[in-house]
Structure 1
């Protein structure tokens, strides 16, 4: 720990986390630990979904004929081949066109989607819609989908957006293509878009304007005496936000953001705290014996150990 006379800008709610870091890592000192809030964008997204059903004998014959006959037949030609009333055949073709299995053309033409269903021995059921929530987190550079809305709670913390420019338009849901939305939902594990089972999203649209949802994050500035370097870490609960951490580090290196502006920690204060901790660390003869947790040096005789992220929780 630092000398009693040296104050550290640490928010009360993070004191336990700071004490844990410093107690478990003799070579580390937390220079500042502050909480901020930043905004997410929550959008209601309406998805159009198609699911399969087994086709009947007539539907199978019509689709197969459209694929295999050369040239493809007309409805009247098919009715003649099958010995059926043309009205009955045309009605079935119209149903398949409504389901977008057949294109609205003459002669009969199978759509790309229709072929996908046909290969599985099915045709689509009439489409239906559901609504889900898309959460755009521009700081963490993620988009997540969930069936329930996020809690809209008041968070009385400094707004990180006043210090860091966060471009919320880069993850605007309406700018994505259908294929991109399909892939994101397929990766989400929500079992909404499952092509191998014939369940497919065929369209989407964003309903109304996105809603701002506030989320708390924690910023730690940690000094590593073994390597004489600083570690900046952004976390949300127990999750370390790599993209956010990299963004803050980059802005500081480019002199577009300062720790004094962000945390009230001036360059002079950092210099004093660094010298104090290094002196204390060396006086306690820990420099050669301290071992960082979660570090596996590849070659301890030739290489210095690499510092991994610190778990503040």
Structure 2
């Protein structure tokens, strides 16, 4: 016998969402629904950005000479060739060395980075800082970056971390390699790391302590009669959090979380509901087959009568 909706462990604030889920398909039945809070981690960071500018005529000549002259020239030799005071050459080469375009020692040689910029007709500018917030989401198992900071809100709900050990999933920003930070910044849609345009995030450092930001989520335990499978779904409002849902299903399959503890849904209740739902499904299928069979017989009888009528004519 199916439990009535009022007898299921369903939070009263989630009844409308439950009705929407079950209305999607007659094969879906929500066995439990409960609200929780969980915390994101917000860490203020500062990244340094290096991007190019078009080189001037003297910079172009010095870099070109360093690439093409054999052996590479010294500052004094270039000053003699250009009939310039060597101070102009030394000042320019010192600036190019500070930008890692030229090697630190004489004679003048070009670094791999300097050659790459030269091929694009540019030299890098001195790095400049940008303030960002790194948001670590343990359920989504990801790190995103954004300019604005999240606002914390008071959420008076059970803490999901009291039921599931998710704190170990939180990544320490300071331990991440620069390549991963660059990729996360790109994935966040921030146009700060664009290697194809020569715009590079060169470093990242934490500038303030990490803050907990509380968020509300809802967990639904759903039985899919078509696939005969129990599903766990996490939502933020009406948005399904796919990564978080998959994580909980894996943890449940590995026996690392208890639906009885999490949602007051015992294994016995789940099994009874599963059997009742499948029995109801089979009953509905049998009823449909009987209707189809009856319609088939009626159709055959009509066809036979039509044939007899044709013969009489």
TM-score range, shorter chain: 0.7 to 0.9
Cα distance between partner residues in 1 of 2:44 and 2:147: 10
Task: Give, in angstroms, the shift of residue 169 of structure 1.
Answer: 6.0
Q: 1:237 to 1:6 in 2, by over 3 A?
A: closer
Structure showing the higher helix proportion among its residues:
2
SS class of match (1:116): helix
Corresponding residue of 1:16: 16
Partner Cα distance (1:103, 1:238) in 2: 56
Instruction: Give 2:81's aligned residue.
Output: 81
TM-score by length of 2: 0.84
What is the rounded CA distance, in whole Å, between the counterparts of 1:6 and 1:238 in structure 2? 22
Secondary structure of the corresponding residue to residue 31 of structure 1 = strand
Q: Which residue of structure 1 aligns with residue 197 of structure 2? A: 197
1:38 matched residue in structure 2: 38
User: Deviation of residue 239 (structure 1)?
Assistant: 3.3
What is the deviation of 1:5? 8.3
Moved more, 147-156 or 239-248: 239-248
CA distance in 1, matches of 2:212, 2:89: 53
Q: Distance in 2 between matches of 1:223 and 1:16?
A: 18
Equivalent residues in 2 for 1:189-228 (5 A)? 189-228=189-228
> Aligned residue for 1:122?
122
Q: Deviation at 1:134? A: 1.1
Contact 1:281 1:287 in 2 (8 A): no
Aligned residue for 1:182? 182
Query: Equivalent residue of 2:106, what SS?
Result: coil
SS at match of 1:217: strand
Task: Give 1:288 deviation, angstroms.
Answer: 6.2
Aligned residue for 2:25? 25
Matched residues, number: 289
- Structure 1 residues 223 and 133: alpha-carbon distance in aligned structure 2, compared to 1, 3 A threshold: same
Distance 1:94 1:32, change over 3 A: same
Larger Rg: 2
Q: Distance in 2 between matches of 1:136 and 1:178?
A: 16
Alpha carbons 1:234, 1:245 under 8 Å: kept: yes
Q: What's the counterpart of residue 137 of structure 1?
A: 137
**Alpha carbons 1:35, 1:216 under 8 Å: kept:** yes
- Is residue 6–residue 273 contact of structure 1 (8 Å, CA) maintained in 2? no
TM-score by length of 1: 0.84
1-structure distance, mates of 2:70, 2:288: 82
Is the CA contact 2:161–2:167 (under 8 Å) kept in the aligned structure 1?
Answer: no
CA RMSD of aligned residues (A): 2.3
CA distance in 2, matches of 1:125, 1:44: 25
Change (3 A) 1:288 1:116: farther
Work out the CA distance in 1 between the residues paired with 2:287 and 2:203.
61
Q: How big is the shift at 1:170?
A: 5.2
- Structure 2 alignment gaps of length 5 or more: 290-313
Contact 2:144 2:187 in 1 (8 A): no
